[in-house]
Amino acid sequence: MLRPLALITLLLLSSCATLPQLQPPGIALERIDLLQLGFDEQRFGLELQVTNPNSIPLPITGMRYGLAVSGIAIGNGASTETMRIPANGTTRVQLELSVSAVRLLGELSEWTRRPPTELSYLFDGEIDVELWPRPLQVSREGRVPLRIAPGAFTL
């Protein structure tokens, strides 16, 4: 009885070893849009450029992500939007992030007096790929333009 179980285990392990290795996509935060700045809710729009370094398309089934701006962790988000990133290709992705006012209170009050045109950021998260056993980790830091939507300040 042990021999068939050992054989099945070896077959499963060898099939896992032959899975292609997926490289995580490259992420570039292209723009942050301040959509709403109020006492009870702050909403940001994020525009990402996602680059697939793999020779096969990436069928993405979801993402979980976090964003820090000017060294302050402002929030986390999730998306269940499905998309397909072509092999060795690039796709633009729109995400939304709702933020608690408490985390950004000092920074936001400064923004109402002198809105910045650019922010430093750290974006990190994980991407679910269809039929792939575990999420792919992504991380990127840099500087990004900030665009403030008309009527965004509702204080």
The confidence score (pLDDT) of residue 7 equals: 47
> SS3 for 114?
coil
pLDDT in tens, 126-135: 999 999 999 9
| Residue 104 pLDDT exceeds 90 | no
According to the model, what pLDDT value does residue 60 have? 96
CA atoms within 13 A on the CB side of 6: 3
Would you identify the CATH topology of the domain 22-148? Immunoglobulin-like (2.60.40)
Residue 39 is predicted with a pLDDT of: 72
Highest mean pLDDT among 58-62, 68-72, 147-151: 58-62
Q: Where are the domains of the chain?
A: 22-148
Dist CA 100 CA 84 (whole Å): 31
Higher pLDDT, 140 or 99: 140
CA angle centred on 123, ends 140 and 46, rounded to 5°: 115
Phi-psi region of 117 (alpha: psi -120 to 50; beta: other; left: phi over 0): alpha
Query: In whole angstroms, what is the distance from residue 35 CA to residue 64 CA?
Result: 20
For 10-31, how does the pLDDT look when each residue is reduced to its tens digit (9 = 90+)?
Answer: 444 444 555 568 999 999 999 9
Strand ranges, E, within the chain: 26-37, 42-51, 58-69, 72-79, 83-85, 90-99, 118-129, 136-148
